[in-house]
Amino acid sequence: MAATDVDIFPIEEKRTLDLGGRVGFDSLPDQLVSKSVTQGFCFNILCVGETGIGKSTLMNSLFNTTFETDEANHYQNGVYLRPRTYELQESSVQLKLTIVDTVGFGDQINKDESYKPIVDYIDSQFENYLQEELKIQRCLFDHHDTRIHICLYFIAPTGHSLKSLDLVTMKKLDSKVNIIPIIAKADTISKGELDKFKIKIMSELVSNGVQIYQFPTDDEAVAEINSSMNAYLPFAVVGSTEEVKVGNKLVRVRQYPWGVVQVENESHCDFVKLREMLLRVNMEDLREQTHVRHYELYRRCKLEEMGFKDTDPDSKPFSLQETYEAKRKEFLGDLQRKEEEMRQMFVSKVKETEAELKEKERELHDKFEQLKRLHQEEKKKMEEKRRDLEDDLNAFNRKKMAAETLQAQSLQGSSQQPLKKDKDKKNFFSLPSSCSLPSGRNLN
């Protein structure tokens, strides 16, 4: 019977399933990598150094490109920062690179405030990010992060010691940005002098309490290389975009009459070490240190200034709402107090102005009365002068009339006398015929 059952119901064959991929959460890193590559990365470099020390040339050498930059002169009235952003792509990774140059740094006679524009710029970038975080509808995913991730501080190759400007500036910046000191144009001093110069620089930084960026050694993958590279700080670099053929390949060099200095030759300078540490090994750590250390310090100080804190004096959790309400009441109280002070000040100013106007009005009235009296006196004098002139005029007219009368009489008298002479002459020429003239006389 069992055999018959087996013959009636044969056993079905087992199905085989093919997996489309690995099953589990170990693919999370791949997801993060894919998302990060799609989003792209940003990296911001601050170049601090004197004009003409080779900042732009080194940037061109680091990224193997030619950035458009305007040459700065040595006649700047002050220090200002010039940020420029570039879109770079290497393989499938997109990088938004911002290079910030300090134009005019170290060119002034008075260098006391040369570091201030740099500090203000770094703080302003922190403030922009903080304001974006504090928004109700924030969008940090698309926000262009302009916080400075690394400060390359260019040191002049003097071979002696750091300048006071260098020490003061790095001391002001070490709590705000990751600093990597580099000796620019390192081919201008000899190998022995360069080693002594490095030791001197590190000694001065330690003695003055300047904290520079140390390559992290907590990650086993990069602990060994970072430990060895920390010993090379500060890096002595040479930058150049000029290529010549050495052997069978083109290399970037600086040509001199006595030979060439190869930029990528580790026996000539530390350019390769700087590029390795800055771009290939520790770029993400620089971004992370900027966020978790320098930005968090700025954010904490800013919120403490605003009165926010995590715990109250009794070490109890602190309510953000209570802090806001307390600050709001304090602000309104200050506003009312200032408003009352301004009102009192306004009233006092009005009273002072009224008193001044009344005083000026009184002065004007007194001046008007004085001018009025002077006018009356002048008018009285003019009236007296007018009467005198009228009297003089009347006297003159009387004299004139008398003179005219005399003249008329004299003219009348003179006119009567010729008439008498004519009459006598007429009588003479009308003598009687009986009267004869003496002999020899002719009337003509």
Tens digits of pLDDT across the chain (444 residues): 444 444 555 556 667 766 666 667 777 888 888 888 888 899 999 999 998 898 999 999 998 888 877 776 767 788 889 999 999 988 888 999 999 999 989 888 888 889 999 999 999 999 999 998 888 888 877 788 899 999 999 999 988 889 999 999 999 999 999 999 999 999 889 889 999 999 999 999 999 999 999 999 988 888 899 999 999 999 999 988 888 887 788 888 888 888 888 898 888 899 999 999 999 899 999 999 999 999 999 999 988 887 777 666 665 666 667 777 777 888 888 899 999 999 999 999 999 999 999 999 999 999 999 999 999 999 999 999 999 999 999 999 999 999 989 888 888 877 766 655 566 555 555 545 544 444 444 443
Neighbours of 44 (CB within 10 A): 24
> Based on the domain organization, do 369 and 275 belong to the same domain?
no
- Domain boundary among the residues 395, 412, 427 is at 395
> Based on the domain organization, do 256 and 362 belong to the same domain?
no
The dihedral built from the CA positions of residue 434, 438, 441 and 444, taken in this order, carries a sign that is: negative
> Based on the domain organization, do 131 and 253 belong to the same domain?
yes
- Number of domains observed in the structure of the chain: 2
* Domain annotation covers residue 219: yes
* Domain annotation covers residue 73: yes
> Based on the domain organization, do 249 and 380 belong to the same domain?
no
* Domain annotation covers residue 329: yes
Size (the chain), residues: 444
> Based on the domain organization, do 381 and 259 belong to the same domain?
no
* Domain annotation covers residue 423: no
Those residues whose C-beta lies under 8 Å from the C-beta of residue 51, and which sit 6 or more positions away, are 72, 73, 74, 76, 103, 104, 105, 106, 107
> Based on the domain organization, do 296 and 329 belong to the same domain?
no
> Based on the domain organization, do 251 and 350 belong to the same domain?
no
* Domain annotation covers residue 231: yes
Structural domain for 351, as ranges: 319-395
Question: Residue-wise over 404-424: b if at least 16 C-beta within 10 A, else e?
Answer: eeeeeeeeeeeeeeeeeeeee
- Domain boundary among the residues 276, 306, 336 is at 306
> Based on the domain organization, do 191 and 96 belong to the same domain?
yes
Distance CA 290, CA 282 (A): 12
* Domain annotation covers residue 415: no
> Based on the domain organization, do 357 and 240 belong to the same domain?
no
Q: What pLDDT does 219 receive?
A: 86
* Domain annotation covers residue 7: no
> Based on the domain organization, do 336 and 296 belong to the same domain?
no
| Residue type, position 93, single letter | V
Tokens representing 209 are 């309490």
| Residue type, position 88, single letter | L
> Based on the domain organization, do 332 and 266 belong to the same domain?
no
> Based on the domain organization, do 121 and 210 belong to the same domain?
yes
CATH (domain of 299): 3.40.50.300
Those residues whose C-beta lies under 8 Å from the C-beta of residue 3, and which sit 6 or more positions away, are none
* Domain annotation covers residue 403: no
The reply to whether the predicted model has a pTM over 0.85 is no
Q: What pLDDT does 19 receive?
A: 61
Burial (CB count within 10 angstroms: exposed 0-12, middle 13-18, buried 19+), residue 248: exposed
In which residue are the tokens 């992060």 written? 145
Distance CA 155, CA 196 (A): 14
Distance CA 291, CA 70 (A): 31
Q: What pLDDT does 361 receive?
A: 92
